[in-house]
Amino acid sequence: MGCSLRNSHEESAKVSSFPLDLGSGLCPVDSLEPTSIKEAGNFFLVHKVTQSSPSPAMCFVAKVPQDEQESHIVAFSSEDGSRKLDDESTSSRTIGVRDVHISMRLMEDFLHLAKENTEKDVETCGILGAVHENGTLYMTTLIIPKQESASNSCQATNEEEVFKILNERSLYPVGWIHTHPSQSCFMSSVDLHTQYSYQMMIPEAFAIVLAPTDTSRSCGLFRLTDPEGMNILKNCMDKGFHPHKDPDNGNPLYEHCSNVYKNSNLRFEIFDLR
């Protein structure tokens, strides 16, 4: 599944993304505590889930008013960072893939758990697991594996622990997430190869890049263009840092996702195996 999340960043690339504003709307990352958390008038209940293997997990349940439950589902714009209603977001290159729902809270909590590494200019990576229901994939699990990291790379270890969680819960490995502590929000050449390994198995798979020091775009949700980007990565045998040619038809090598939606009602678990 490509659990060996190797990502290095030798240069910046300008790809539009959704700016994650950690200071408004949702609870700031710095204020997260392992107790009841208030968010925009609502409370998150933080529970410790005891498990024999492989480690404890945290569950987060959002209490959203009944009349607001449907209105909180929006798409991430691929152009100007704004949020569009789901019926306004389409992409000719992503037609045919299933919708994916994710909680913004999951991304914020990942940043909180990665904070110590980020302050040391060290990357953090994780794997995203989803359940499939009625044609939609719901992101319900974040797994942070044991890992070896540097300022521009992150390598997961003990991958059997990740497979165990995914298999026990019948989860789809629909994505991966990692930080750029001091780099901008983009996909490096090595990131693209990691993304290819996910997207080859599951067309909906995407990568989340969180770049807290990037003032123009601190959060990006990316996928390879299909078939253009997928074909280029399929035929690339190079390792480490290397350039990739652009598709001959003028389309980008990778793009911002148009099939991923914010869902405030999702219950999710976090497994920090480090």
Question: Which element (helix H / strand E) includes 233?
Answer: helix 228-234
**Average pLDDT value for the chain:** 74
Per-position DSSP letters for 149-212, written without gaps between them: EETTEEEE--HHHHHHHHHHTT-EEEEEEEE-SSS-S---HHHHHHHHHHHHH-TT-EEEEE-T
Average pLDDT estimate for 125-139: 96
| Whole-structure pTM value | 0.71
Report the pLDDT value the prediction gives residue 132, as an integer from 0 to 100. 96
Residue 104 has pLDDT above 80, yes or no: yes
Rounded Cα distance, 183 and 120, in Å = 13
Q: Which residue has the higher pLDDT, 110 or 96?
A: 110
Average pLDDT estimate for 50-58: 34
Q: Which residue has the higher pLDDT, 11 or 163?
A: 163
Report the pLDDT value the prediction gives residue 265, as an integer from 0 to 100. 85
In terms of CATH, what superfamily is 100-272? Cytidine Deaminase, domain 2 (3.40.140.10)
Residue 273 has pLDDT above 60, yes or no: yes
The amino acid occupying position 156 is: A
Q: Return the beta strands (E) in the chain as ranges.
A: 37-39, 42-49, 57-62, 74-76, 83-85, 100-102, 125-133, 136-144, 147-150, 153-156, 172-179, 206-210, 219-224, 254-256, 260-262, 268-272
Q: What percent of the chain has pLDDT over 70?
A: 65
Give the model confidence (pLDDT) of 180-226 as tens digits: 999 999 999 999 999 999 999 999 999 999 999 999 999 999 999 99
Average pLDDT estimate for 80-98: 48
